[in-house]
C-alpha cells in the first residue's frame, strides 16, 4: 500500500516573493520524503485550489497539512467543506502554536542586527527517506505551488492527528547563544511587539498569543501582540503604545499582510517573515510540516 500523499495547503498570495518562499518550503519537505507524493494547493487566491488538488490525488489516501500558523476559519470551515466528499482525507492541525516557531521568531529578531549566533539543530529523521537528496517535487502543483502569510489549522473529526505540541520552551538562561543574540537585537528592556494576521475566530487569536508567550519566555520579557485584521489591539496601536519597540513578524511569507505590517510598524525595526525567497527554509519549519504528516499517519482510520 502506498504511503498517503502529503497535500500542503497554503493560504495563497499574489506576491511572487511569497509564492517562491512557500514553494521552497514544500520542495524541502519533498526532498526529505522521497517516497511520498508531496503536492501544494491553496485555499484562496491561487490555483490549484483544494478541490483541484484532491482531484489529482484520486485512489490514494491524503493527509492535508495546512501551511497556516493558527487554527481559524480556513481549516475549521474551508478545508473540511472542500474535502468532505472524500473519506480517505485527514486534516492535521496547523503549524502553530509550536515552540520551534517561537525560537525561529527570536532568530529573526537577532537578524535585525546581523547577530546570528544561534544553536544549530539536526532535522528529524523520517522513516521513508534513506537518501532525500535524490528527490524533487515539480509539476501539477506538486511542491511547485505558492505562498501564504496567514494561518489556521484544525483536524477532521474521526480521523484527527494528535493535538499536542512539543513542550513549551523553558526560559532561556542568559548564557545561551539564542538568549544572547535576542538581547543584542532588542536590548534589555526594549519592548517587543509580535505582528500577527488576526482572525474572526478567537481560538486562532489565542494560538497567536500563545506563541507570543513562548517568545517572551525565550526573550525573558513580555511580548505584546499587534493584530493586522479582525482583532485588537491593531499593530499600529500596539507600536504607538510602545514607541521604542521592535516588531517580531509572525507571518509565514511575504505578501499582503507583511506589506501591511511594514506600514503599521510606523518606522520601527521589523523582522522578516518566517520564510523569504532568498534564504533556505529553516530546518525547524520543515520538521514541523513533516511531523504533522507523520503524526496523522499514525492514527487509526474509522
Q: Is 143 part of a structural domain of the chain?
A: yes
pLDDT at 161 over 50: no
> Cell triple for residue 193?
511587539
Whether 289 is covered by a domain: the verdict is yes
The reply to whether 167 falls in a domain is: no
Specify the pLDDT at position 98.
98
What share of the chain in percent tops pLDDT 90?
A: 67
10 Å CB burial of residue 6 (0-12, 13-18, 19+) is: buried
Over residues 244-298, the pLDDT tens digits come to 999 999 999 999 999 999 999 999 999 999 999 999 999 999 999 999 999 997 5
Mean pLDDT is lowest, of 9-23, 81-95, 140-154, for 140-154
Instruction: Please give the Cα distance from 236 to 225 (Å, whole number).
Output: 11
Q: Please report which confidence band the pLDDT of residue 169 belongs to, taking 50, 70 and 90 as the band edges.
A: very low
In a domain, 59, yes or no: yes
pLDDT the model gives residue 154: 34
Contact 254, 273 (CB under 8 A): yes
Q: Write down the pLDDT at residue 112.
A: 85
Does any domain span residue 133? Answer: yes
Contacts of 151 (CB under 8 A, 6+ apart): 11, 66, 67, 68, 69, 70, 72, 94, 95, 96, 197, 204, 252
Q: Is the pLDDT of residue 180 over 90?
A: no
Task: For residue 299, say if its preceding peptide bond is cis, omega within 30 degrees of 0.
Answer: no
- Asked, for residue 103, whether it belongs to a domain, the answer is no
Is 72 within a domain? Answer: yes
CATH number of the domain where residue 34 is located? 3.40.50.1400
Predicted pLDDT of residue 171: 41
Q: In which band, very low, low, confident or very high, does the pLDDT at 73 lie, cut at 50, 70 and 90?
A: confident
pLDDT band of 114, cuts 50, 70, 90: low
Residue 61 in any domain: the answer is: yes
Residue 147 in this model has a pLDDT that exceeds 80: no
Number of domains in the chain: 1
For 24, the domain range is 5-98+121-161+278-297
Amino acid at each position: 500500500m502506498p504511503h498517503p500523499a502529503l497535500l500542503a495547503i497554503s493560504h495563497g498570495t499574489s506576491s511572487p516573493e511569497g509564492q517562491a518562499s512557500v514553494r521552497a518550503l514544500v520542495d524541502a519537505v519533498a526532498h526529505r520524503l522521497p517516497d511520498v507524493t508531496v503536492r501544494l494547493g491553496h485555499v484562496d487566491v491561487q490555483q490549484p485550489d483544494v478541490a483541484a488538488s484532491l482531484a489529482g490525488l484520486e485512489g490514494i489516501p491524503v493527509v492535508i497539512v495546512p501551511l497556516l500558523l493558527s487554527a481559524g476559519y480556513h481549516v475549521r470551515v474551508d478545508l473540511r467543506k472542500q474535502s468532505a466528499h472524500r473519506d480517505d482525507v485527514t486534516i492535521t492541525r496547523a503549524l502553530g502554536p509550536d515552540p520551534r516557531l517561537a525560537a525561529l521568531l527570536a532568530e529573526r529578531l537577532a537578524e535585525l542586527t546581523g547577530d546570528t549566533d544561534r544553536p544549530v539543530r539536526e532535522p528529524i529523521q523520517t522513516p521513508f527517506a534513506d537518501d532525500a537528496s535524490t528527490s524533487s517535487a515539480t509539476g501539477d502543483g506538486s511542491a511547485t505551488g505558492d505562498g501564504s502569510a496567514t494561518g489556521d489549522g484544525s483536524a477532521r473529526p474521526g480521523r484527527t492527528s494528535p493535538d499536542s505540541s512539543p513542550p513549551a520552551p523553558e526560559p532561556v538562561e542568559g548564557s545561551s547563544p539564542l538568549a544572547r543574540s535576542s538581547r543584542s537585537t532588542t536590548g534589555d528592556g526594549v519592548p517587543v511587539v509580535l505582528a500577527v494576521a488576526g482572525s474572526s475566530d478567537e481560538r486562532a487569536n489565542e494560538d497567536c498569543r500563545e506563541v507570543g508567550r513562548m517568545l517572551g519566555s525565550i526573550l525573558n520579557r513580555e511580548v505584546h501582540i499587534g493584530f493586522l485584521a479582525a482583532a485588537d489591539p491593531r499593530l499600529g496601536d500596539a507600536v504607538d503604545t510602545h514607541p521604542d519597540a521592535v516588531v517580531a513578524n509572525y507571518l509565514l511569507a511575504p505578501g499582503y499582510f507583511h506589506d501591511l505590517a511594514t506600514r503599521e510598524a510606523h518606522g520601527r525595526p521589523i523582522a522578516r517573515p518566517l520564510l523569504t525567497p532568498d534564504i533556505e527554509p529553516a530546518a525547524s519549519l520543515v520538521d514541523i510540516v513533516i511531523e504533522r504528516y507523520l503524526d496523522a499517519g499514525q492514527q487509526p482510520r474509522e
